[in-house]
Amino acid sequence: MANRDISTIEDIQQMVNSFYANIRKDNLIGPIFNDKLQDRWEPHLQKMYNFWQTILFDVRAYSGTPFPPHKQLPVDKTHFDRWISIFNTTIDSQFEGPVTEEAKMRATNMAFMFSHKIEYFRNAENELRNQSNKS
């Protein structure tokens, strides 16, 4: 039997809950999420439901800037590659269709952008440190 496409808030909740359940168990990125969120998982999940509802259904449920909370995390491209792998595997096991493909494309683009921005800021900070050490 074919999976159906993501079409309701309940689908988004299922997608988000199962994705983060898989994240929490992952040996590479699970400890980073668990350390950062600790006892704040429920508010984070609610924020993710709102975020994906806004992205996929054009419902204005999320407001904010998603990058700043990620800027100082101890992550690099390897972590974002794992994040995408878990996202795609999780979503593909439950859903299929145009909205599902849109979610995967948006997640991939976001991970790519976050990874590059974090690398950019780290390089800029290192450059500033190097310049101040020379003077």
Contact present, 104 and 91 (Cβ < 8 Å) = yes
Question: Exposure of 23 by Cβ count < 10 A (0-12 exposed, 13-18 middle, 19+ buried)?
Answer: buried
pLDDT at 87 over 60: yes
What does pTM read for this prediction? 0.84
User: Residue 34 is encoded by which pair of tokens?
Assistant: 């668990």
Query: What DSSP state is assigned to residue 26?
Result: -
How do residues 109-126 score in pLDDT, each as one tens digit? 999 998 888 888 777 766
Nearest to 103 by CA among 49, 67, 62: 49
Contact present, 95 and 4 (Cβ < 8 Å) = yes
Nearest to 85 by CA among 63, 116, 65, 111: 111
The residue ranges of every structural domain in the chain are 9-134
- What local confidence, expressed as pLDDT, does residue 127 receive? 72
Q: Which CATH number fits domain 9-134: 3.40.190.10, 2.60.40.420, 1.10.490.10, 3.40.50.300?
A: 1.10.490.10
Say which amino acid occupies 39. D
How do residues 41-72 score in pLDDT, each as one tens digit? 999 999 999 999 999 998 887 777 767 677 77
